[in-house]
Structures are given as C-alpha cells and as structure tokens.
Amino acid sequence: MPLIQVTVAQGRRPEQLHALGVALTDAVQDTLSAPRDTIRVIITETSPDHWFTGGQSLAARRAGAASGREP
C-alpha cells in the first residue's frame, strides 16, 4: 500500500489539490504498477506563517513580493 505525503502552503484551490492527488496516484500506479485502490495520498496544508525558507516565513516573502520589495 503506497502512501504519499505532501505538504503545501495554504492558498490553493480545491480543484488544484484534487488534481495533485489524482496526478500523484497516476504516477504511482504507472511507475510501481500498484493497484489504484491501494494507493494513498495525504495532502497537508500549512499556514504561510509556519513555512520558512532561509529564516523568513512564506507570508513575509509574499508580502515583500506584493509590495515590490525583495524578500
């Protein structure tokens, strides 16, 4: 039973998350020949305030980009 766990920042549309789940399921089925009904995909959304890169939150980076400032 393959299990794929993906963490993404909040803010994506439900249709995008669905498409990701389907695409990951397809990839596992194609590459591992796993029966589709045994493949599990868990998508966890994290607040941009809790996602850090280089010591700066994604929320701050987005705010800087929106204001035209470099992160």
Q: Which residues are catalytically annotated?
A: 2
User: How do strand 56-57 and strand 52-53 relate by DSSP bridges?
Assistant: antiparallel
Q: Are 65 and 28 in contact (CB under 8 A)?
A: no
Q: Is 11 left (phi over 0), alpha (psi -120 to 50) or beta?
A: left
